[in-house]
Amino acid sequence: MFLTGIESQWDFVFLKLRHQTSVLSSFVILLIALLPSCTSPNDPSQKSLLGGREITDDAGRRVLLPPVVDRAISLAPNLTETVFAVGAGMKLVGDTTYCDFPEEAKHVTKVGDTLHPSMERIIALKPEVVLVSTASQLEVFTDQLKSHNIAVFVTDPRDLEGVFRSITQVGEILGKSEEAKTVVASLRQRSESVETKVKQLPPVRIFYQLSAEPLYTAGKDSFVTDLIRRAGAESVTADVPGAWPKYSAESALAAKPDAIILPTGGSMGAGNSTVAEALRKSPAALRGRVYKINDDHLVRPGPRAIDGLEAMAKALHPEAFNQ
């Protein structure tokens, strides 16, 4: 039996960085569902200010933006990486303490962490748009930004296509549509290359261990589950509801995976570098098929997710890449 877990990778990852055993409660996701529209279509002052350019975000909100955005703030590492990847780094006037890639991101003004950004700092930087992930939002936060004519754009990729869509949208917002198309085309080509190499091979049954104690994994709604499939594998928890569900020791023992993926060594440091006790007698552990992969490539739904895809595929199917 599986246990109810957290709904977004950021709910787990960011709190894991601060408190290795803390878990963000599901109320954040409920609040996201209640996020108000960025502007009212009947508010002429807003349309005059923002120019009427409208893009629908992953929360289903129609976000009004000015014709040209020159000042943006990112509240998630994957979005910061995306901004730089599409060549709009010069427009990023603020990001979070977790935004550490590329190197230039470390020198951008910090507005706090992803879960607790400073409203005062954000407003003082006078952004035209704030890019956020669903786990970093509170209704009051969005309302306050709205009162200062600052648009809020939400992204929430649930698969690799969602990541590509997010890159495309960020490029559109920041006036880098062509550059974003080029980035997505390159990433898609790399993804297709991996899938072509592994498609004739039998899929490996794997367990993705997000955390050992307590035991968390990738569920049905995690974009990582899609990466696992594309890497020529089958997640034993692919049908478990949620993005990052808590998993019982009994279920882990019964799963009997043939390989285990440990996201570790990136922002998480040495955390999550050992197999959970419930999995130590699994076929994967007994045969030494435990693979450590940079967690930043597996928990940040941005351009480097393809690095994570390639690393998993090469670990699970080395024969396909040694030719």
pLDDT in tens, 272-301: 889 999 999 999 999 999 999 999 999 999
Using the predicted structure, report yes or no on whether residue 302 has a pLDDT greater than 70: yes
Comparing 191 with 11, which gets the higher pLDDT? 191
Cis geometry, peptide bond prior to residue 318 (ω within 30 degrees of 0): no
- Quote the pLDDT of residue 141: 72
Q: How deeply is 55 buried, as exposed, middle or buried, from its count of CB atoms within 10 A (0-12, 13-18, 19+)? A: middle
Same domain (yes/no): 170, 65: yes
Identify the domain boundary among 186, 221, 253. 186
CATH number of the domain encompassing residue 315: 3.40.50.1980
Same domain (yes/no): 174, 237: no
Q: How deeply is 268 buried, as exposed, middle or buried, from its count of CB atoms within 10 A (0-12, 13-18, 19+)? A: buried
What is the rounded CA–CA span in Å between residue 223 and residue 225? Answer: 5
Using the predicted structure, report yes or no on whether residue 19 has a pLDDT greater than 70: no
- Quote the pLDDT of residue 40: 44
pLDDT in tens, 80-127: 999 999 999 999 999 999 999 999 999 999 999 888 889 999 999 999
- Quote the pLDDT of residue 183: 98
Residue 244 lies in a domain: yes
What is the rounded CA–CA span in Å between residue 117 and residue 110? Answer: 9
Using the predicted structure, report yes or no on whether residue 315 has a pLDDT greater than 90: yes
pLDDT in tens, 124-146: 999 999 999 864 454 557 778 88
Same domain (yes/no): 49, 181: yes
Which three-class secondary structure state does DSSP give residue 200? Answer: coil
Same domain (yes/no): 181, 39: yes
Using the predicted structure, report yes or no on whether residue 226 has a pLDDT greater than 70: yes
Residue type, 323: Q
The domain containing residue 300 runs over which residues? Answer: 201-320
Identify the domain boundary among 156, 186, 216. 186
What is the rounded CA–CA span in Å between residue 111 and residue 7? Answer: 25
